[in-house]
Chains A and B, each alone.
Chain A
Amino acid sequence: SYVLTQPPSISVAPGKTATITCGGNRIGSKSVHWYQQKAGQAPVLVIYYSRERPSGIPDRFSGSNSGNTATLTISRVEAGDEGDYYCQVWDDGTEHVEFGGGTKLTVL
């Protein structure tokens, strides 16, 4: 199976930039999608096709993808950005959806 590796947690002060990585073998050749899940809620799509934002998602959220690492960047972090973030890909080889293990973002 295709493995996606995320750091379990990161902490960022308000107003600073949060960077969440998602590692995978040649992930730069895949489309990566990112979800935000706040406590007790369903996940919400925040980035699709590695760098596109759905309507209603602030432009503070951005994505990039190259080589073996995809990155979700949250600029000017706010308290309301706290939650778990998951990356996701479709693996053509196994015809499976794969999720990363998730990263818990704490706003200090």
Chain B
Amino acid sequence: QLQMQESGPGLVKPSETLSLTCIVSGGSISSNYYWAWIRQPPGKGLEWIGSMYYSGRRYYKSSLKSRVTISVDTSNNHFSLELSSVTATDTAMYYCARHVPGRDYFDSWGQGTLVTVSS
């Protein structure tokens, strides 16, 4: 059974770069899926950040595109998120998820990691 686990700092200073990693176990990150990041500000709804296929095809939310990089490490079976120039509005629970081919639904999610942007 696929398991996904986010890791990274829980506190990031304004203007710095948020970096998170999602470790995938029970399945290969080189399989026919996209790998995605989704966030949820406290008390609010879900916001898709972007998705990436292991071979390189990426889709990013337009409003975040200038600040976001998603990358895949096939050797270590994990993928990562970098979000630059963060502000308090980037404070959220960040989830990694597996995105079924055809850019459709998310069938497996990590438990999430809370990132707070504060000085």
A residues engaging B (CB < 8 A)? 1, 31, 33, 35, 41-45, 48-49, 54, 84, 86, 88, 90, 94-102
Contacts and interface: CB of A to CB of B under 8 A. Distances in A.
Contacts of B59: 95-97
Contact of B47 (A31, A35, A45, A99): A99
Contact of A54 (B95, B103, B104, B107): B107
A102 B48 contact: no
B61 interface: yes
B104 A33 contact: yes
Contact of A31 (B104, B106, B109): B104
B101 to A, nearest CB: 11
B46 A102 contact: yes
Nearest to A52: B105
B62 interface: yes
Closest 10 CB pairs of A and B: A97-B48, A33-B105, A42-B109, A99-B46, A102-B45, A48-B105, A90-B103, A101-B45, A42-B112, A95-B59
A92 B1 CA distance: 30
Contacts of A45: 105-107
Interface in B5-60: 36, 45-48, 51, 59
